[in-house]
A and B are shown apart, each in its own frame.
Chain A
């Protein structure tokens, strides 16, 4: 019963991801990616991981993608416009990556197909269990992740601040 939605959601995710990488318009690509992420969130749910599904929607689709949208909007201002001008390499650019895709997929599927699996009835994993794990054995990891986020925050701030300073200087100098 759960398997059918799984395959449908998989198909949606794959199709949406394919659209992401082939769009020329950045915003279109972003929106397709959001679709893909939502499909993956559904898959998480079907796999018995509701907490992960919630995180996927809230953080991934909700925060990270929004960040992307902001940046794309910022970069769209300015003379270069969207990347449609120079992002048209034609079919020839797809051949190499296509071959690589096929080879790697074959290898990975070979690896996965080697051990036959008998599906078992498994219960879902609740957020409570996840929380217990996080603040138990993986406490160190949590601390490190928080430090990582702090680093990311500081780095991004630092980069953006100096960028802003330079832009204003340039603007002031240009206006002379």
Chain B
């Protein structure tokens, strides 16, 4: 397929998705939703890389995307384990409950 899609549009899409993910992190209180929103953000970052790689038809963009994917996977697994621990300690996954670092 030819790529006649302007790079800016691809980046703009990535930006919108990223920011939507950010809003999700800020607004939701459920820990699982927060992790979900983080996934959205990571995905958006990957999209940015693919678009940039497609612009110059180089494989590096996809390589980066692969790395990001691996990072997301590792992070999700540990993150969800921690969410389970959070539930175990506080009997809720309300992230606002976990504020023992309050100074």
Contacts and interface: CB of A to CB of B under 8 A. Distances in A.
Interface of A: 1-3, 6, 10, 13-14, 17-18, 20-21, 26, 29-30, 33, 36-37, 40, 43-49, 51-52, 55-56, 59-60, 63-64, 67-68, 71-72, 74-75, 78-80, 83, 86-87, 89, 93-94, 96-98, 100-101, 104-105, 108-109, 112-113, 117, 119-125, 129-130, 132-134, 138, 141, 145, 148-149, 151-153, 155-156, 159-160, 163, 166-167
Chain B: interface size category: 35 or more
Interface in B31-63: 32-33, 35-37, 39-40, 43, 46-47, 50-51, 53-63
Contacts of A134: 59, 63, 66
Contacts of B15: 104-105, 108-109, 112
A151 B27 CA distance: 30
Given A64-B76, A87-B28, A163 B88 contact: yes
Contacts of A33: 36, 39-40
Given A2-B2, A63-B73, A100-B26, 5 more contacts: A14-B16, A68-B32, A68-B76, A123-B2, A130-B59
